[in-house]
Structure 1
Amino acid sequence: MRVRTTLSLLVLFSGVGSSCPQATVDPPHPDATDHLIFNSVLALLERWPNTLYRNGHTIVPATIPPGTLLYHGSPYPALPTNREWLAFDFEHAYLFTFATDAPGAAYVTTYATSRALRVAYFDGSSAAKLDDGPMDTQDILLWGEGRPDMYRKDIERLAELCKWAREYGVDGFVRMEYHFEFMLCDFTDGLDVVSTRRLLPRDPYPLPPNGRGRPRTDTSSDAAQHAFTASSAAAREETPQEPRPIPRPEGWKGSLPSASMTYFEAIVAAARHNRAPGETRVRPDYAGLITFYDRAFESLVEVRRGVPRLRHRVANISSADASRAHAEIAQVFRRAPGGGSGVNWGSVARGVVDTYAERLDLLRFLVDPTRSMYRNVTERAGVVRAQLLTMLTAYISLEDVPSLDRDTDAGDRVWAAPIVARCAESQTAHFLLDTMTPQERRIRDAVQGTQTEICRRLGTMWLDAFDIQVWTDEDKISKALGRWRREVGELMAWLGWPEWVRCEPACGVGSMCYVATWPFWLGDDPTDLSPRCISRSDPFGMNEGSLAVVD
């Protein structure tokens, strides 16, 4: 959906040949992706939405600023010099300090970036070791096609990514598993060592339960997942072994940090980046955002049609479209950072969500007769009208009020068109297109299309609501409320904002809201992303008589 002028909206709301009092004409095209691009921009580096929609469609250049602290955990004292993984939070790095061949050793090195590091960020759960789409964008960047044989070969994948990075002056890559991670190609350039500490070893017991849908057994293979030495790389291919009890440090009393709670504290650290502002230590360059939701990639349009977003696959791209994607990627990453308009498009998208998410949620509650406290339809219609007026007041001028000779009850809709036009263009009309990169124009169109559909739906409801307080026919009022319920429901489903995915009722102090993500709690149905409350004290159900899931 592209920019609509006031004149075009006048035509849309004129309702020529229509006797329906709703403005139901010209909904978004069935193949429209404005809302999907909008959501991708909104969700960059936020853990919650990238868990819900794990098959990412975005590649964006980004920077990690000077002075940023990063962490590397290992059971070995030697520091990496070549390509390796870094964590943004200590708790994540601490996971990787155990190996069966080095019991009792736990080293965490803290680094600080000595300059801005240039990175490529892949959205979605792009580090999840699943073969159904999370790594598609990396495959297309590297090989132009999906490589399901590579989805568990992370050491080899990092080597190939770093070969690509050398051509474009890229230092590394940011991905998300259950937490964000940084894949760095050269530890000798851009990092200063702040400290290396031998810390308390973590006890390998109690283990998180083994099996599908549970954390991985803590073996030498798992503990070496991000290790850099030849021995630890080889350990990935070894048959998993039961970890041996480790000796307590001399003078230590009581238990050590357990494996299960060490895993869980990394999950808790990740959850701190669930929602805005997300992972702030990585700064995306919106002027270079590449999205495979651009309808110019025609081969992906038809295969998405009617398919839930969780199952959208970039790997379905044609070779011709993959070549076009490679050309755009090369053009973006060869461009000097900091170009374009300088608009913070993430903030623009966040402003739209902040304005409407809670209000639409309230509107859905008010129009639902099973939930609303207002059982009387006349009273409920008045309350809904007040909420619609609140959402549209900024766009209604005195000149828009229909004159007394207009029969608004008979389907005259033109009078509301200027209101909808102002609302639709409120976020984007002031931007100058000639300052924007092609990627920014795509984002601008997505914001415009998303805002337009919000305003079209609100305008449709307002045409009914404007004079509903003078209606006397309760059956007619009930039918209007039914139409509004449908409008709100369809709008919220189309928008698909993660703000509406939450634990209800909210979790108590002793638990936290969580959505299954690899490798934790993915059950027999990996598409079941229902939020649930999990116990903070016993998240994996290790203690006798306790349940991991408390809802």
Structure 2
Amino acid sequence: MRWVDVLPAILTCASLSSAAQSPFHAAVTGSPPSEVSRGSNGSWHLNDTPAANATGHLVFETVSSLLQHWPNTRYRNGHTIVPGVIPSGTLLYHGTEQPVVPEVPEWVATDPEHSHVFCRGPAQSGCWQLTLAATRPLRVLYFDGTSASKMEDGPMDSQDVVSWGEPKPEWVFKEPERINDLCEWGRQHALDGYVRMEMDFEIMLCNLTSGVKVVSFLNLPVLPAFPNDPDQNFLAFETMNAGHWHNRYPGDERVQLDLTRLISFYDISLLPSLIPQRAGQERWDHRILGADPAELLAIRTHLESTLANKHQGSGVDWQTLFRVVIKRYADRLELVQYLLNSTEHVPATTQDEYERAAKVQLQLRIMLIPYILHSSVPSRFSASNLADLSWAEPVFTECATMHTAAIVSDFVIALTPSEKLLLRAIQETTREICRVVVRMWAEGVESGLDPYLPIEVEEPNVTAVMWKWQGDLNGLMGWLDWSVWIKCRPACGFEEICYLPTWPVGFRHRRRRPDFPLPNEPEDNDEWRRPQPKCIRRIEPYGF
């Protein structure tokens, strides 16, 4: 949607609140390892860390976050394009100044709170809210990230590649040209529109008279969308709040994505030129700008081929498989991190410290119960043998391959190129989770902390083990960088919600439009680039 008329007023609402948590940082990205097969020999050493430029974990997190407002607000620069459909009967909303169904491409919202911001007109005659219903499945492309934010720093890169062949940050406000060119390109592929996200999800609908019908066209009273007092700005808040309904999985369910035809800009087989562009950067700063033009042209060609391909794929439910992994490990890793952090100020020689280490050891074992073989026991133990954990490598193998072994053995021939990328992503992710957890567990066994594999150890250095565990676990969780761990601490009160600064509210907006007045904010305000969770009120005064 076009915010030319309303953006300046929204931006006056920016103010900070409390309860921020520093997020984890992802590793530098790049080439994923070769596909892991069950029972590979010589590739299961517990000290073999992932390649510094691996991208499988980034593909895993972005795919796990599709159509979810929270993670795509946190990392605004999207890296994924996915074909999908909007099912028949889905309602779409368009706020306007006059009772005329547009005959040109326009923006529609998935929630009326979002479209009502654009229901404007003279107070004496009111405004108009158009409600449409899909009369058939609407074919769409989804751009992840906060892909409707008018920022030069990367949120629109992927749609620029589709519409113009390359990112054009200087054209960030050319929304009429963008929607028209996207719809012109999409016509040859029978696309009805494009799904994007800002404060809530929206659709760039190419034809408001094809595939949809008018349900209602209501004349509504004009509300003061952006009153002078930003703390009374309930329309802006409720637009953002509607987006929060889709914060977590499954996100906005009114768009059904086809992951068998997904394209990721983290796929280095398509974009190897981005490896050096991302080197040394935090994930906040990853973007598509700087990619080789020939590779971007190939991306468009690949996308066109993908849209024309009728291949149905393997039938694997990838989204559910990704969620299974997250559900299995997210809470447990967070609990172990809590237990480790609670020992920082405990004297090294106390019984309390040993007991806490034993609690950590038990949680590690709990995660590995399905994979610890009866034969997985230390064959010997001595001070000179502490680094030899080869006895635990079969546990590592079982843990890392369990979720994908059947796919590799039975379905790999049927996988589309996109599915092969998804397979590598889950293989690389589970491999590193299992490597770190199995190594921590094995170190605990050899330190005499596991009552189910008891080993007599004279004066075990529990402090050293705990410090090593803490570093290893923090490193793993930072590498995974799952959005489920990003939350307000302490939790928000009943009259509050946990909020990430959401374009165009709550953070500094970079742009080249000198005619757009902006609020006076300090030049070193970095919150627009690294959104941090905070508690804000959900009843007035709001205080973004």
TM-score interval, normalised by the smaller of the two chains: 0.7 to 0.9
Could you say which residue in structure 2 is the equivalent of 1:229?
none
Instruction: Note the C-alpha offset of 1:368.
Output: 1.4
Superposition RMSD in Å: 2.1
Q: Distance in 1 between matches of 2:457 and 2:529?
A: 47
Q: Can you list the C-alpha shifts for 1:486-529, whole angstroms capped at 9, x where unaligned? A: 11000000000001111001111111110112100014312231
In structure 1, the partner of 2:442 is 463
Provide Cα deviations, 1:27-54, integer angstroms capped at 9, x if missing partner: 1101100011111110110000001111
> Quick one: which of 182, 190, 195 aligns to 1:161?
182
Counterpart position of 2:340: 367
Structure 2 vs 1, CA of residues 204 and 301 (structure 1 numbering), >3 Å: closer, same or farther?
Answer: closer
Q: CA deviation at 1:331?
A: 0.9
Aligned equivalents of 1:124 and 1:116: distance in 2? 24
- 2:200: which partner in 1? 179
Paired position in structure 1 for 2:430 = 451
| Letter aligned with residue 286 of structure 1 | L
What corresponds to 1:72 in structure 2?
94
Distance in 2 of aligned mates of 1:60 and 1:508: 37
TM-superposed CA distance for 1:315, in Å, is 1.6
Counterpart amino acid of 1:139? D
Q: 1:180 to 1:420 in 2, by over 3 A?
A: same
Matches within 5 A, 1:51-200: 51-99=73-121, 101=122, 104-200=125-221
2:478 maps to which residue?
493
Distance 1:205 1:175, change over 3 A: closer
- Of residues 499, 521, 530, the one that matches 1:528 is 530
Matched, 1:345 2:318: yes
The structure-2 alpha-carbon separation of the partners of 1:102 and 1:158, relative to structure 1 and needing over 3 Å to count, comes to farther
| Aligned equivalent of 1:42 | 64
CA deviations over 1:82-114 (Å, ceiling 9, x no partner): 211111111111111114x56551221221100
CA deviation profile, 1:461-506 (whole Å, cap 9, x unmatched): 0111124225655561110111110110000000000011110011
What one-letter code is carried by the residue in structure 2 that aligns with 1:81? Answer: E
The yes-or-no answer on 1:271 pairing with 2:256 is no
Matches of 1:425 and 1:163, distance apart in 2: 45
CA contact (8 A) 2:120 2:128 kept: no
**Distance (whole Å) between structure 2 residues aligned to residue 149 and residue 496 of structure 1:** 31
**1:66–1:116 Cα contact (<8 Å) kept:** yes
- 1:179 and 1:457, CA in 2 relative to 1: closer, same or farther beyond 3 A? same
The one-letter code matched in structure 1 to 2:400 is: A
The answer for the alignment partner of 2:418 in structure 1 is 439
State the alpha-carbon separation in 2 of the partners of residues 441 and 494 from structure 1: 22
Query: Are the equivalent residues in 2 in contact too, given 1:67–1:115 (CA < 8 A)?
Result: yes
Give, in whole Å, the separation in 2 of the partners of 1:52 and 1:9: 40
Is 2:345 aligned against 1:323?
A: no
User: Retained in 2: the 8 A contact 1:76–1:102?
Assistant: no
What amino acid does structure 1 have at the position aligned with 2:294? A
What's the counterpart of residue 268 of structure 2?
295
CA distance in 2 between counterparts of 1:287 and 1:208 reads 48
SS of aligned partner of 2:215? strand
Secondary structure of 2:394's match? helix
Q: TM-score, normalised by structure 1?
A: 0.83
Structure with the larger RCO, 1 or 2 (CA within 8 Å, 6+ apart): 2
Alpha-carbon contact 2:372-2:395 (below 8 Å) kept: yes
Report if aligned partners of 1:9, 1:420 keep a CA contact under 8 Å in 2: no
d(CA) in 1 for partners of 2:356, 2:248: 33
Shift in CA distance, 378/261, structure 1 to aligned 2, threshold 3 Å: same
Corresponding letter in the other structure for 1:533? C
Number of aligned residue pairs: give it: 481
Gap change, CA 1:372 and 1:396, over 3 Å in 2: farther
Match of 1:418 among 364, 389, 394: 394
In structure 1, C-alpha distance between the alignment counterparts of 2:530 and 2:124, rounded to whole Å: 37
Corresponding residue of 1:479: 464
Mapped partners of 1:199, 1:267: distance in 2: 21
Task: Provide the C-alpha distance between the structure 2 equivalents of 1:459 and 1:539, rounded to a whole number of angstroms.
Answer: 50
Note the C-alpha offset of 1:125.
0.5
2:503 paired with 1:518:
yes
Instruction: Give the C-alpha shift of residue 539 in structure 1.
Output: 5.1
SS of 2:84's partner is: strand
